[in-house]
Amino acid sequence: MKDAAIGVFDSGMGGLTVMRALMAGMPSESFVYLGDTARLPYGTKGADTVTRYAVQAVSALVKRKIKLLVVACNTASGVALPALNEAFAPLPVIDVIAPGAEAALAASPQGPIAVIATEGTVRAGAYERAIRARAPKVPVLQQACPLLVPLAEEGLIEGAIVDLAIHRYLDSLLERAPAALVLGCTHYPVLRDAIARIAGPDIVLVDSAATVALAVERRLAQDGLLREGPPMPHRFLATDAAKRFARIGEIFLGQRIAPGSVELVDL
C-alpha cells in the first residue's frame, strides 16, 4: 500500500491548491485528484445533496486503490465527513476544517478570527465549531462569499470585478477588526493577493493547505504508509470539461496540467 496513491477530492479545481501543498511536502507520493466540475459549486447546495455527491465522488477514487483520502472541499468537510468515514472505513480521511482551525488559532490565539467561506460551510458552522472546540472564548466571525468560487473557476483572480466582489463581502467584516482571516474555501488562495490588499497588512490571512499537508504526512507516517523513492506520476479526474480543467487548473496547481492527463468520469 505504500505505493498506492493519495486521493484528493473537491467540488471543482480549488482543491488543487491543497494538492499543490501536498506535492511540495511529499514529493515521493503519487496523487489522484477528482474535481466534480459537472456539479459545482457545492456551497449553494443542501447538506443531503452535498453528502450524496461526496460519497459518489469518493467511490470513484476508492476504485483507484487509494491509501488515504483528503477531502479538499470545505463544504463537503463541513457536512459530509461522518458519512464518508462510515461509508469508506477503514480508509483514513483527512479534512480541511480541523487543520484550518488549528492554523487560525496559531496565527491569532486571542482572536477575533474571521472566516470567509461558501454558504454551505457558513451554514453548517463547521469552522466556528472547530475553533470553539479548541478555544471556547475566541470570537469567530463568518461571512459567506458565494461569488468568489465562480470567479476563481473562471480564472478571474484579479481586476475590477474581483475587487468589487471582495469589497462586497469583506467591508462589513473588516469593520469588526478581526486579527486573522481564514480562507475557508480551497478556491480562495488563488485570490489571496487581492484579498490581502483589501484586508490590509494588519490582518493575518490563513490558508490551511500547508497544515493539511502536515496532517496527511503525520497520518501516513503513523500508519507506516509513507512512500520513499523517486516521484510518481499523478492522475486527474473531472466530471466535465477536461480541457478546461487542464487550462484553468494550472492556476490552482501552480504547474502545467497536460490536457491528455485529465480523465472524464461519470459519477
- The active-site residue, picked from 185, 209, 215, 237, is 185
Of 6, 21, 57, 73, catalytic: 73
Map residue 114 onto helix, strand or coil.
strand
> 73 an active-site residue?
yes
Q: Note if 185 is an active site residue.
A: yes
Contact partners, residue 174, CB within 8 Å, separation at least 6? 199, 200, 203
Partners of 263 in the beta sheet? 237
Q: Go through 20-51 and write b for each residue having 16 or more CB atoms within 10 A of its CB, e for each that does not.
A: bbbbeebeebbbbbbbbbbbbbbbebebeebb
Order of strands across the sheet that contains 6-10: 93-95, 68-71, 6-10, 31-35, 235-238, 262-264
Residue 222, phi then psi, degrees to nearest 5 = -60, -40
Q: DSSP letter string over 43-59?
A: TTS-HHHHHHHHHHHHH
90 cis-preceded (ω within 30 degrees of 0)? yes
Write out the three cell numbers for 97.
Answer: 476544517
Contact 203, 180 (CB under 8 A): yes
Residue 4, C-alpha cell as written in the block? 498506492
* Active site residue ranges: 73, 185
